Amino acid sequence: MQAIQVMDENLANKIAAGEVVEKTMNVVKELVENSIDAGSSEIKVELVDSGVKEIKVSDDGCGMGKEDAILAFSRHATSKLKNLDDLFHIHSLGFRGEALPSIAAVSYVTLKTSDGTTGTLLHLDGGKLVDVASSDLKQGTTITVQNLFYNTPVRLKYLKNLYIELANITEYIEKMALSYPNIKFTLSNNGKVLLNTAGDGDLRKVIYAIYGLDVTKKMVEVSGSNDDYEVSGYISYPELARSNRSHLVTFVNGRIIHNNELNRVITDSYHTYIPSDKFPIVILNIEVDPILIDINIHPTKMDIKFSKMAELKELIETLITKKLEQLLLIPHATVREESDLSSPRTKEELVESLPKREEQVHLDSPAIEEIQLDFEVHETDSAAPEEAEPRKERRLKKMHPVGLVHGTYIIAENEDGMFIIDQHAAAERINYEKTLQGILTKQPAVEKLLVPLAIELTKGEYIIIQKHLDLLEELHFEVENFGGNTLLFRSHPTWLPKGYEKEAIRKILDIIVGTEDFDYAKFVDHTAATMACKMSIKANDHISLEDMEYLLDTLSQCDNPFTCPHGRPTIITYTKYELEKLFKRAMN
C-alpha cells in the first residue's frame, strides 16, 4: 500500500493557518496589508469582541473582478509575484498568496468586492466556497471574518483574553497608521472608536492621535541618507523614555519590522541620555532598494535581512546622536493639568485601562480632523507659548546657586527661571567627560608607584586578563605577572580616583572579565562611567555656595551637561513663566 499521499487542500490550508494565523491580530494584519497593496486611501477595521466573533476590514482600493475574487482563496494565488525575479524586487506588503486561504480555512468569510465594472459577493465556510453572487459597483473590498477558529477549537482555546487581543490589534493599527500617514485608518471595537487618523500625510497628527499632545511636542524630526538607505522619522526627547521597547517603531519600505540589531543601535545612540533600562520613543521609516533586503525569512514577514547592515547602523546612529547634540535637554518640572490630552497607548497601558468585566470598551478618541496642531516642535524647549524661537546655543547659561535641599539638590537661578541640580549626577557628568578625555589621550599623565599594587585573581579571571594585557597597556597601566594568579601594577594613569586606586583597578579588571563580546568603545565608556561615579560627591554631602558655583560653572562647559553617564537628568527647571503660572500670577 502506498504510504505517501498528496495532502488534501483543505487540510493543507488548516496547517498553513497555524503559521499565518495565530491570533486575531494576524487576521487584521493580513487583511489590512492587502488593503494597502490595493492602493487604498481609507481603511476601516471594525471588531466584535476583539475580533474573535467578527473582523470586518473595508477599503476603497482597486477591488477585484469575479474571477480574481474566486481565485484569491486558492493557495499561493497572488497578483504580486509573477516569476522568481520578482521575489528579489518585492514592493508590496503581501506576496506569498497564503493569507486568504489560511484565514478562510478556520472561519466563515464573506467577501464583497468591485473593480468599478463588476461587483462580486462570495461566502466561504471553512475554506470551501459556498455561494457566488453579484453585488453593487462601489469600488473597493470588504472582507468579513466571523467565528475565527470555530473548526479548530484547540487554537481558539489558546487565544489570549479579549483585552490582550484588542491591545495587540490596536498596537498594530497604530503602527500601520504611523507608517502610512497618507491613509485614513479607523479602528473600532463593539461600535466604539479606538483610533481615527486624518490620512492627510501629516505624521505629527498620527503621533498626536496615538500618544497625545505632551509626547508630540517632545518629538523632533530626523532625516538623512547614504548611497543605499534613506531614513526619516521622529525621535523623542530623552525625558520621554519608556520602560519597554514597544515604542521603538521601525519600518522598511512601509513594512513593520522587529529587528534586534536596529533596536540596539537606536538605544545605544541614546547612551548616557537615558538609563540603560529605559527606551526612547522612535519612529523611523527606512527606504531601500528591495534587492538589498530579504523579507522572505519569517512566516509573519516581520523580520528581514539587510545586505549592508553596517552602513544602515552607522546612518541611524549618526542621525540620532547628531540630533540629540543639537537639543537643549533640560526637562521642565511642569505640573500636569487635569485636562491632559494624552491617553495610555502602550499594550500594557491599554490593557490596564480596559474594563475588568466583559463590557464594552470606552476608548473614544476625537476625530483628528477636528484638532489643529498649533505648536511647533523646536530643537530646544520653550518656556512659554510666546518663546517660540529655538536657542542656537546648547551650553547652559550662567546659574547662580542660592542653596541646598536635603544635602543633595542645588537650587539655582538666572533670568530664565529656577533650576534644580542633582549634585552627584552633575559631578558624575563632569568627572565622566574628564576621565573619558584622559583615557582617550595618547600620552596621559602617569603616576609611578613607590609600592606596586598587587592584585590576586582567580584562575579563570587570570586567563581572561592575560588575553587583554595589551588593553591595560593601551590604558597606560604598567603591569607584570607576579606569579600564581597575581598581577603587579607599577604605575597607573592619573585619572584614577585618588585614594581608591586599587579598588578602581579591580573594577576595571572586573569589567574586562565580565565582557563577553568585547567592544573597545563600550569598554572605555563603561570604565569612564565607573571611575566617575567613584570620584564624585555623593548625596547628603553638604557643600558650600562656592563649591556649588564651581560645580555649576564646570557643568556648563561639558559637552552634554543634561544627563549623568547613566542617563539620569542632572538638571530640571521651572521657567519664570511656569512659576508665575503655579502661583496664579499668569493665568493664560
Average pLDDT over residues 561-575: 89
Contact 202, 192 (CB under 8 A): no
Q: Mean pLDDT, to the nearest integer, of 218-234?
A: 93
**Which residue from 306, 234, 316, 290 is spatially nearest to 93, judged by alpha carbons?**
290
Fill in the amino acid letter for 522: K
Return d(Cα 253, Cα 231) in angstroms, integer.
10
Kindly tell me the burial class for residue 26, based on how many C-beta atoms sit within 10 Å of its own C-beta (0-12, 13-18, 19 or more): buried
Which cell goes with 229? 538607505
Q: Is the pLDDT of residue 109 over 90?
A: yes
Q: What is the pLDDT of residue 315?
A: 95
Length of the chain: 588
* Residue with the larger pLDDT of the pair 385 and 513: 513
Are 31 and 143 in contact, with CB atoms under 8 Å apart? yes
Map 368-421 to HEC letters.
Answer: HHHCCCCCCCCCECCCCCCCCCCCCCCCCCCCEEEEEECCCEEEEEECCEEEEE
For the stretch 303-362, pLDDT in tens is: 778 888 899 999 999 999 999 888 877 776 654 444 443 444 454 444 444 444 333 333
Dist CA 485 CA 462 (whole Å)? 6
Residue 374 has pLDDT above 60, yes or no: no
Q: Where is 67: in which H helix or E strand?
A: helix 66-71
Which residues have C-beta within 8 Å of that of residue 583, sequence separation ≥ 6? none
Summarize pLDDT for 544-564 with one digit per residue, the tens. Answer: 999 999 999 999 999 889 999
Least confident of 156-170, 216-230, 233-247: 156-170
What is the model's pLDDT at position 336?
47
* pLDDT value at residue 13: 52
> What is each CA distance from 376 to 239, 422, 443, in whole angstroms?
18, 30, 47
* Cβ 236 vs Cβ 396: under 8 Å: no
Tell me: pLDDT of 126 over 90.
Answer: no
Share of the chain above pLDDT 90, in %: 35
- Closest by Cα among 60, 23, 67 to 155: 23
pLDDT value of residue 97? 53
Give the residue carrying C-alpha cell 465556510. 125
b/e 100-112 (16+ beta carbons within 10 angstroms → b) = bbbbbbbbbbbbb
Q: Is the per-residue pLDDT at 423 higher than 90?
A: yes
Strand spans (E) along 190-227 = 192-196, 219-225
Strand partners for 401: 412
Q: 463-499: per-residue pLDDT in tens?
A: 888 888 888 888 889 998 888 889 999 999 888 888 8
Domains along the sequence of the chain with CATH: 9-159 (3.30.565.10), 203-326 (3.30.230.10), 395-588 (3.30.1540.20)
Q: Which of 521, 485, 490 is nearest to 505 (CA)?
A: 490
Residue 371: pLDDT band with limits 50, 70, 90: very low
- Confidence label for 2 from pLDDT (cuts 50, 70 and 90): low
Q: Are 353 and 192 in contact (CB under 8 A)?
A: no
Q: Which residues lie closer than 8 Å to 347 by C-beta, 6 or more apart? A: 167, 168, 170, 171, 246
Q: What is the pLDDT of residues 169-209, one digit of tens each?
A: 999 999 999 999 999 999 999 999 999 999 999 999 999 99
pLDDT, tens only, 249-288 = 999 888 888 888 899 999 999 988 888 888 999 999 999 8
DSSP 160: P
Q: Is the pLDDT of residue 381 over 50?
A: no
Bigger pLDDT: 156 vs 201: 201
Predicted pLDDT at 145: 94
3-state secondary structure (DSSP) of residue 45: strand
Place of cell 613607590: 450
Q: Tell me what pLDDT residue 501 has.
A: 86
CA angle 179–181–184, rounded 5-degree value: 120
Q: Is the pLDDT of residue 543 over 70?
A: yes
The answer, as to whether pTM is greater than 0.75, is no
pLDDT, position 387: 37
pLDDT over threshold 90, residue 122:
yes
Q: Of 25-29, 42-46, 70-74, 580-584, where does the model show the most confidence? A: 42-46
Please check whether residue 73 is in contact with residue 56, taking contact to mean a CB–CB distance below 8 angstroms: no
Rounded to an integer, the average pLDDT of 103-111 is 91
Q: Distance between CA atoms of 233 and 207, rounded to whole angstroms? A: 11
- Please name the amino acid found at residue 95: F
The predicted model gives 513-517 an average pLDDT of 73
User: Cβ neighbours of residue 450 under 8 Å, at least 6 residues apart?
Assistant: none
C-alpha cell at 440: 582617550
Q: What does DSSP assign to residue 563?
A: B
Mean pLDDT of 36-54: 93
What is the rounded CA–CA span in Å between residue 389 and residue 394?
A: 14
